[in-house]
Amino acid sequence: MPAVRESAPSLPAVSQARTAVYMDTLVTIEVVEPAPDDVAARIEAAFGWFARVEAVCSRFDPESDLSQLCRQPGVEVRVDPLLYRAIEFALSVARASGGAFDPTVGRTLAAQGFDTNYRTGERTVSEAAATGGLDDVVLDASARTVLLRRPLTLDLGAVAKGFAIDLAAHELRGCPNFAINAGGDLYLAGNNPDGEPWRIGIRHPRIPEAILTEVAVSGVAVCTSGDYDRPRPDGQPGHHIVEPRSGRSASGVASVTVIALTAMLADALGTAAFVLGPERGIAFLEAQGVDGLIISADLAQHATSEFHRRLV
Ligand code: AMP
Ligand code: MG
């Protein structure tokens, strides 16, 4: 008689998830078993990085290190290491993108109504005429100082969220499987509760609930910038990603999704590619060695040459 074999159905692994609001967006951290005993404390510490990066890098909080820096043009200001890193990184993306990415767009954005602190409802006080540009931000790595040679308003909105995701992911390094989702910008480690690579839907930019395509990923960040994310608060047509030279909303692209090893990179390169437009954006992402998908305003899909490997 053949031996009776028991085949146990493989059940999804148990996971712990918590959601909180940071950076004007919902942040969810999900840890899938096996997890260390102190997993709750680790999730707490991971959220702490969102609070910390926001406190340092927010343009909407007059007390943030960033706001304090912007109130001191002409002065070499020694800044918090996180702020130094974020500005240094933003400037490197600015140079690599030929100025399509530009962290000095803060004043333009504020003038379009992006000037309200989502927690307090208070509006940021506009500084005296801001005239500076990229070349007016001078860094000294050894002294960890930033000098704004002219008055300007820095905006780290395309960097800070990714930065916080990376710091949170580092905090969870003792957990083999987890997902951090900050308003659609993600970092995925290990496997999902089914024991498989995480499957991430890329949404249709014009049909809110529709998924255009799906990628399967692990050990990477997936960040998306969409023209649907944040409409201009002043009632004018347009959104939150500006073409720095004209000051208008970048118009050739509906959404960009970038897959990279860190979320700070995926976040910033996606914003840069958005401004560059479909053709130059894809060439830029290829040159930076990351995978990406750009949906142009006419809804055509433009992908880097290796992107298809990620598709489900
Ligand atoms: P994301 O959320 O990654 O799509 O980035 C959009 C955010 O980046 C905006 O909310 C602004 O804070 C900032 N931003 C807008 N335009 C630019 C630009 N041309 N270069 C750098 N940052 C920008
Ligand atoms: Mg971005």
What is the residue-wise DSSP string for 105-126? THHHHHHTT--B-TTT-PBPPP
Model pLDDT, residue 193: 95
- Between CA 102 and CA 154 the distance in angstroms is 9
> Would you say the CB of residue 285 lies under 6 angstroms from ligand 1?
no
Q: Which atom of ligand 1 is nearest to the CA of 275?
A: 19
CA nearest ligand 1 atom 11, residue: 157
Model pLDDT, residue 81: 98
Q: Which of 49, 53, 48 is nearest to 86 (CA)?
A: 53
- Between CA 86 and CA 243 the distance in angstroms is 21
CA nearest ligand 1 atom 2, residue: 158
- Between CA 93 and CA 160 the distance in angstroms is 13
Model pLDDT, residue 29: 98
The pTM for the full model equals 0.95
Q: pLDDT tens across 256-280, in order? A: 999 999 999 999 999 999 999 999 9
CB 271 within 8 A of CB 161: no
By the 10 Å C-beta count (0-12 exposed, 13-18 middle, 19+ buried), 25 is classed as: middle
Tokens representing 33 are 């078993």
Rounded to 5 degrees, φ, ψ at 129 are -35, 115
**H/E element, 40:** helix 39-57
Model pLDDT, residue 309: 95
Which ligand is closest in space to the CA of residue 57?
A: 1
Model pLDDT, residue 264: 98
Model pLDDT, residue 275: 98
Model pLDDT, residue 126: 65
> Would you say the CB of residue 103 lies under 6 angstroms from ligand 1?
yes
Would you call the peptide bond into 34 cis, given omega within 30 degrees of 0 as the criterion?
A: yes
How many angstroms separate the alpha carbon of residue 264 from the centre of ligand 2? Answer: 8
- Between CA 116 and CA 144 the distance in angstroms is 29
CA nearest ligand 1 atom 15, residue: 241
> Would you say the CB of residue 155 lies under 6 angstroms from ligand 1?
yes
Q: pLDDT tens across 122-163, in order? A: 998 766 566 789 999 999 999 999 999 999 999 999 999 999
CB 248 within 8 A of CB 242: yes
Residues of the chain with pLDDT under 70: 1-10, 126-130
**H/E element, 19:** strand 15-22
232-236-242-243 Cα dihedral, nearest 10 degrees: 170
Model pLDDT, residue 7: 55
- Between CA 172 and CA 186 the distance in angstroms is 14
Tokens representing 64 are 């943030």
Model pLDDT, residue 224: 97
CA nearest ligand 1 atom 4, residue: 225
Model pLDDT, residue 132: 81
- Between CA 182 and CA 47 the distance in angstroms is 11
Model pLDDT, residue 129: 66
Amino acid identity of 14? V
CB-based contacts of 120: which residues, under 8 Å, 6+ apart? none
